Structure 1
Amino acid sequence: MRILVVEDDNLIAKSLVKILTDQRYTIDLATDGQAAWDLIDCYSYDLILLDVVLPKIDGISLCRRLREQGNKTPILLLTAQDASTSKVIGLDAGADDYLAKPFDFQELLARIRALLRRGGSALPPLLKWRNIKLDPSICEVTRDDKLLHLTPKEYGLLEIFLRNPHRVFSCSALIDQLWSLEEPPTEETVRSHIKGLRQKLKVVTDDPIETVYGIGYRLKAPESEKKVKSAKLAQSTKSKLTNHHSSSPSTVSQVWEQVAENLSQRVAVIEQANSVLLTDKLSDELWSQAKQEAHKLVGSLGMFGSNKGSAIAGEIEKLLEAEGKFSQAEVKRFSLLVVALRQEFQRLGCEKICEDEAPLLWVVDGNREFTEELISLATLWGMQVEITPDPLIARKLIVASSPDAVLLDLSVNDTADNAIKLLTELTRRIPPIPVVVFTDVDSLTDRVKIARLGGCRILKKPASSFKTLETVTQLLQNRRTSIEARVMIVDDDPQVLITLQHILTSLGIKVFPLNHPQDFLDTLEIASPDLLILDVEMPDINGIELCQVIRNDPHWNKLPILFLTAHQDAQTIQEIFTAGADDYLSKPIVEAELVTRILNRLQRTYIIRNS
Structure 2
Amino acid sequence: MRLLFVEDDSEFAAQLSGALMQQHYIVDIATDGETAWSLLQTVPYDLILLDLMLPKLNGLELCQRIRSQGSSMPILFLTAKNTIDDKVLGLDAGADDYLTKPVGVREVTARLRALLRRRAVPIVPALTWGLLQLDLGCHEATYGGTPLSLTPKEYMLLELLLRRGDWVHKHAAILEQLWAFDRDPPSEDAVRSHIKGLRRKLKAVGAADLIETVYGVGYRLNPIYLTSSVQNEALLRSRPSDSMATDDRADQKRPCIASKILVVDRNAPHLELIQHTLEPFGLEVVLSNDPMTLWQALDTHRPDVLVLGADMPAVDRLTLCRVLRKDLRWNWLPTLILTSETDPETIHQIFEAGADDFAHQPIVASELVTRILNRLERVRMIYSSFEMKQSTCNNPHQQAEKLVLE
Instruction: Determine which structure has the larger helix proportion and give its number.
Output: 1
TM-score normalised by length of structure 2:
0.38
Greater relative contact order, per chain length (Cα 8 Å cut-off, separation 6+): 2
TM-score normalised by length of structure 1:
0.26
